[in-house]
Each structure stands twice: as structure tokens, then as C-alpha cells.
Amino acid sequence: MRIQRALISVSNKAGVVEFARGLAEMGVELVSTGGTAKALADAGLPVIPVEQVTGFPEMMEGRVKTLHPKVHGGILADRSKPEHMEQARAHDITPIDLVCVNLYPFAETVAKPGVTLQDAIENIDIGGPAMVRSAAKNHASVAVVVDPNDYEKVLAEMRASGGSVSEETRRQLAVKAFGHTAHYDAMIHAYLHSTYEPAEGSFPDHFTLANTRVQTLRYGENPHQRAAFYRDAGKQGPSIGTAVQRSGKELSFNNILDTNAALELVKEFEAPACAIIKHNNPCGCARAEDLVTAFQGALAGDPVSAFGGIVACNRVVDAAAAEAMTGDGTFFEVIIAPGFTEDALPILTEKKRWGRDLRLLEVPGWDGTPGKCPEHPEYDLKKVAGGLLVQERDLRRLSPDELTVVSQRAPTPEEIEQLLFAWSVVKHVKSNAIVLVRGNQVVGVGAGQMNRVGSVEIAVKQAGERARGAVMASDAFFPFPDGPEVALNAGVTAIIQPGGSKKDADTIAAVDAHGAAMVFTGVRHFRH
């Protein structure tokens, strides 16, 4: 199919003048709108303003300019049907063979601080998606280009074929075009849904995702699985999706999973903190007066498991912290932090041989403090075969006055502080989750067991002598007192758990018999 007339109307004008010039050199007639028409005319290209085609001026502040039969009739006319072409001639409609359109910058607009609902609404494109969808529907006759990266490909094919675009290329472009408008609509839906307080228990009838592929990965969880990483277009604030890689090898699927887990854990804390993740569970976490001490505490939690793990920090990594992280016996895959000082970078990347491959991720714009809980729900998604499970993210934090003392002995202020620290960590451990904490550092973790007492036994064994004087957090209630008994016999002095078991009285009695303290949260942090 030879291209004779093109309609060009783009928000992102990167490369559009060069693309239009290439079309014009092959004798293609150019029709354009507003700012795009001006850019082409300023570049000396012959261009027909769209109002000359429609016979109507752009109106209503540009809301109406291409919504006209002479535009859409030119795009949608099926060239294989004589009646379509006869009607086009009868109404003086010239066929449009190529549509080059990209849309108003909705995502960029809503990402700006202080954006208003009206700002967002004015950046909802109407005419653009209509033209893109029309051209994609009629790709048997029309080529549609929505991605500037495709400009040169289309021009090269046209030059090689005497001005034509093949059926296969038109089909590929149409698939991309429908993906482009679907993504755009999904962003709008997600934003508008987030601006309204949903009724209690209310979820949207249709759950749409607006994600953009940023990386094709070497493989997935296993080498035989293909994989890619997509960024949530609407996500703001510190996240693995907004992180920028400063150095090192390409991230793997499992790197991204574990780095996300590490970052989300360390975001819990105000004080300098460090978390080390292995296989999506924390093997160490600590907070301290400075980052070096926090890292050393996190590493001491389980130095064997920490080898080859993922490190997350909530403070900029300076030279002192870099020296600690590259000390004897250390090896890490990823370090993620709000930033890295210039003198820290050579230490991390050159001191150890593995530093050349070490992936350093910076989270721009994050000051290291916990973010406020969002005003509107954020969702956690779990894919199952044939469907999608959607729930609100578990962002619940507790204050001391929300704890209910159920033991005869109330915990000391120091124990309360340690219990709340342990409670923040256990939220990020896979069930059945048990965390032992002493001196603001994790000393034992039990995760992923089929019974809770098994998790306690693992955590106590890992802690060893450090269990004496430690506190314990459990993500869900203890169904029997046997789990707490294991911890109490090892020297644990205080326990935090949701409560709610039929056997709570037996567990409380066991705690009292050891002279320990226990508080109920009334909140569960189960991660199945």
C-alpha cells in the first residue's frame, strides 16, 4: 500500500520534523494540527492545516479539531469496498494513508507535585486516541505510527518499496497502537479512581494496569522462563520502579524481587537502617545512630545467609559505609539507597573483584524517611491462573498506645521499642513468620514453615545465645502455647502478636509463668 497522504499530530515532537521531511521527500502530502503544524511549517515543510481539511477552526481551546468526518472518513474508508470510496468521493473526503499521533502527556502531568484534577482532565486526549484507534482498526489500508522509535523503520521500508508500507508492518504497528491507547486509558482510569474515596469494601468493576516495559530480562525465576520488567506509570515515591541503576550488571528477575523486598522493609524506619534480603526474606535488619552501625547490625543477624544477598539502606551510602560493606567475607548482588557519595562509588565498584558486577541502585528524590500512608488505597496484586487477586497493600503501622498488654508484667519502655521494631520487620517475612530482635537488630528469623512452632524453633536456633534477652514478634496468633514456650525457654523476655486464638489464655499463662511480657496488636501481618 503506497502512502500518499499523512496526518501528523504529536505531543512528543522528538524526531517528527525529520520523519515528516522523509515523507515529504517521497511525495507524501502532509496534514497537521496546532503546534505540530507550526513545527513542520517552521522547518520549511509544506503542510496543510487540519482546519483547511475540515472547514472548521480548532475550537474550545483545542478540545475539538480532528473530530470530523473528513478526518475519520479519510482514515476509516475501507479501500477494498467500492461503496466506501464512492461515498468518500461524494463528500470530498481524501483518504489518509498514514496516521502519526502520540497523546497528551497525561502521566507526566499527574506525576507533578500539586497537580489539580482540572490539570489532569485537560490532559486527557480525545481526538488523538480516536484517530489512533480508527487507523489501527483500518490497518488493512492505513499505517499508524505512535512511537517515535518507529519513524526510521517506516521511512526505510517506504524508501525500499517505492513509498509503500507492507501489510505485516501495518499489522505490527496496529498492535502497538492499540496497546498505546489501552495503556493511556488505564492510566486515566487508575488516576481518576484514586481521586475518589471508594465506598467501604469497594473495588473497581474492571481492574486495569498501566505499566510500561523498561527491561527485557535474561530470564525469569528459572532460566527456561522468559521475563520482562514493567514500571507502574502511576507510581510515585521511592520504589524499585523509580530506582536508577548507577553501575553493575543488568538486574535479573530475582534481583528485582529481592531488591523490592529489601527497599520496602527499610522504608519502615525513621532512624538510619539497613536490611539484607535473601530469597525474598530478611536475613538481617538493624537500625542505629549511623548507617555503618546499622549495616554491621544487619550483617550480624545471619552473616552466612547474607552472602550474595541484597542490601537496602535508608540513608545515602558514604565512604565509611562503603568500606564496611566491602569488608572481609562480604559479597552482595545489589545495594539500593537514596544515593551514593562520590567517594563511596570507587570503593564499592573497585575494592573487591565482585564490585565490577555489583548493581548500585539510587532512589532519586527520597530523603530516607518513611513515606506517609497514601490517602487512597494502594493495591497489592497476586496473579493466579485465570485471574488476579487484588487487595489493599499492608501499610499499617502501630504506635505504642495501640498495644494491649495481656500479661501480668507490662513490657518495659525499652521492650516496647524493640517489640515495635520487631513488628515492623515481621510484616516483611513470609508466613508463618517469627522474628527475634535484640538491641535494635534482628537476631533470628523463622519463615515459610507449615507450622508456627517450627518457625520459632528456626528463629531461636539462628539466634543462639542472642535469644536471651530478645523480644519476639509473630505475624499471626499462636494457636497453642508450644511456640511461645520454645522462645521463653531460650530467654525471650517479651512477645508481640495479634492475639485472637481460642488458646490465648494458655499462651498468656505460659508467658506469665516465665515472668515475661506479652502484648496483642489486634492486627495480623500474614504474608502467605
Q: Is the torsion defined by CA of 302, 304, 310, 315 positive or negative?
A: positive
Three-state SS for 223-259 is CCCCEEEEEECCCCCCCCCCCEEEECCCCCHHHHHHH
254 CB neighbour count, 10 Å cutoff:
18
| Strand pairing class (494-497; 471-474) | parallel
- Give whole-number Cα distances, 239 to 280, 283, 337, 421, 490, in Å: 16, 21, 11, 21, 38
Beta bridge partners of 67: none
- Please tell me the distance from the alpha carbon of residue 10 to that of residue 128, in angstroms, as a whole number: 8
First to last CA, the chain: 55
Beta bridge partners of 387: 384
SS3 48: strand
Place of cell 480532528: 66
Residue 62 contacts residue 123 (beta carbons within 8 Å): no
Q: Which residues are catalytic?
A: 137, 279
- The C-alpha cell of 104 is what? 497528551
Return the closest-CA partner of residue 159 out of 27, 44, 41: 27
Place of cell 550488571: 249
Phi, psi of 320 (to 5 degrees): -65, -45
Beta bridge partners of 211: 232
* Region of residue 470 (phi > 0: left; psi between -120 and 50: alpha; otherwise: beta): beta
DSSP letters along 338-368, please? S-B-TTHHHHHHHSSGGGGT-EEEE-TT--S
- Give whole-number Cα distances, 213 to 179, 216, 227, 241, in Å: 12, 8, 11, 11
71 CB neighbour count, 10 Å cutoff:
25
